[in-house]
Amino acid sequence: MMTLVLIGVLIGLILGLTGAGGSVFAVPLLILLGGLPMTEAVGLSLGAVAASTLYGSARSAWQQHPVLWKPGTILAIVGAITAPLGKWLGLQVSESMLVIGFSVLALIIALRMWSSAQSDPQAARIVRAGDFSSTLRPELLCKLNQTGQFELRPRCVSGLLVGGVVVGLLSGLFGVGGGFLIVPLLLALSPISMAQAVSTSLMIIALVSSTGFISHLMLTDHNNGPALALVALAGVAGMMFGQKVSHKIANALLQKLFAASLLVVALATVMHKVVL
């Protein structure tokens, strides 16, 4: 019981500190510490992440944080539609292959975050705090009009559709919310601030994870309600604390700690499920 509470707190804490990434830790922790099989860990992760991000989205709306509703809705709907497909695909492959695939994804995320923080630690802080809505960047697919709203032209919509498919498939397949993809995708497509990207990502993750969790309940026999309740409630508590202290932690240091921890957890999961 305490193990599940600890895992839930860690999921919510990471989501609260970074706006993304908590679900990448959830699955390996549920496997290593909770002793769950990969399929059940994926479903429980989706349920816990959905609960945490639903709270985070409600809090952002209450505090009137900037949410990009047009692109967020497109990403969320496409991701929600494809998440069940990802869940179905996950049931067609062996647990060992699923663990290896998840660990490769986690390693890529960890190395990318470490490299970014190491090469230019100041850049991450500037990007997170900066507002680039008035900056002219013609190479971006999505433009903003004079009122700061997205102009949903064909090139922009195409980029959002492709991103939504990838986020949905990975969410259903590996039990990840997709925030590690959504935030950089929004920043790469458009001249927006990190605050807008993070607030929007929470709304998208909430819908995509909820759909993935519902598909998990429909496609499998695993329905551990008490465990889900513990992890979900602890996740909300962790997110509340993480959001309160996030401004006190340097972004470069936070990224390095996150990357190093994720690297260790991913390797430990492969050793536990595949090698040993």
> What DSSP assignment string belongs to 60-81?
HHHTT----HHHHHHHHHHHHH
How confident is the model over 121-176, as pLDDT tens digits?
A: 654 554 333 333 444 444 567 777 776 667 778 888 888 899 899 988 988 888 77
CA–CA dist 273, 266 (Å, integer): 11
The pLDDT value given to residue 136: 42
CA-closest candidate to residue 128, choices 238, 256, 247, 258: 247
The pLDDT value given to residue 249: 64
The pLDDT value given to residue 65: 65
Query: What's the angle, vertex CA 162, arms to CA 143 and CA 199, rounded to 5?
Result: 60
The pLDDT value given to residue 78: 93
CA–CA dist 205, 264 (Å, integer): 25
* Listed ranges 24-28, 85-89, 267-271; the one with the highest mean pLDDT: 85-89
How confident is the model over 61-73, as pLDDT tens digits?
A: 676 667 788 888 8
Between 252 and 7, the more confident residue is 7
The pLDDT value given to residue 138: 46
* HSE (side-chain half, CA atoms, 13 Å) at 228: 20
CA–CA dist 165, 85 (Å, integer): 10
The pLDDT-based confidence of 93 (bands split at 50, 70, 90) is: confident
150 sits in which H/E element: strand 150-151
CA–CA dist 8, 238 (Å, integer): 7
The pLDDT value given to residue 123: 46
CA–CA dist 168, 124 (Å, integer): 26
The pLDDT value given to residue 63: 67
CA–CA dist 78, 158 (Å, integer): 11
For 209-254, the DSSP string reads: HHHHHHHHHHH-S---HHHHHHHHHHHHHHHHHHHHHGGGS-HHHH
Length of the chain: 276
Q: Are 19 and 202 in contact (CB under 8 A)?
A: yes
Query: What's the angle, vertex CA 14, arms to CA 12 and CA 16, rounded to 5?
Result: 65
CA–CA dist 83, 173 (Å, integer): 8
The pLDDT-based confidence of 257 (bands split at 50, 70, 90) is: confident
How confident is the model over 169-207, as pLDDT tens digits?
A: 988 888 776 667 787 788 777 777 766 777 788 888 888
Mean pLDDT, the chain, rounded, equals: 76
Q: In this structure, are strands 150-151 and 143-144 parallel, antiparallel, or unpaired?
A: antiparallel
The pLDDT value given to residue 134: 43
The pLDDT value given to residue 148: 65
pTM check: above 0.85: no
The pLDDT value given to residue 48: 81
How confident is the model over 208-251, as pLDDT tens digits?
A: 888 888 888 888 776 677 777 888 888 888 878 877 776 666 56
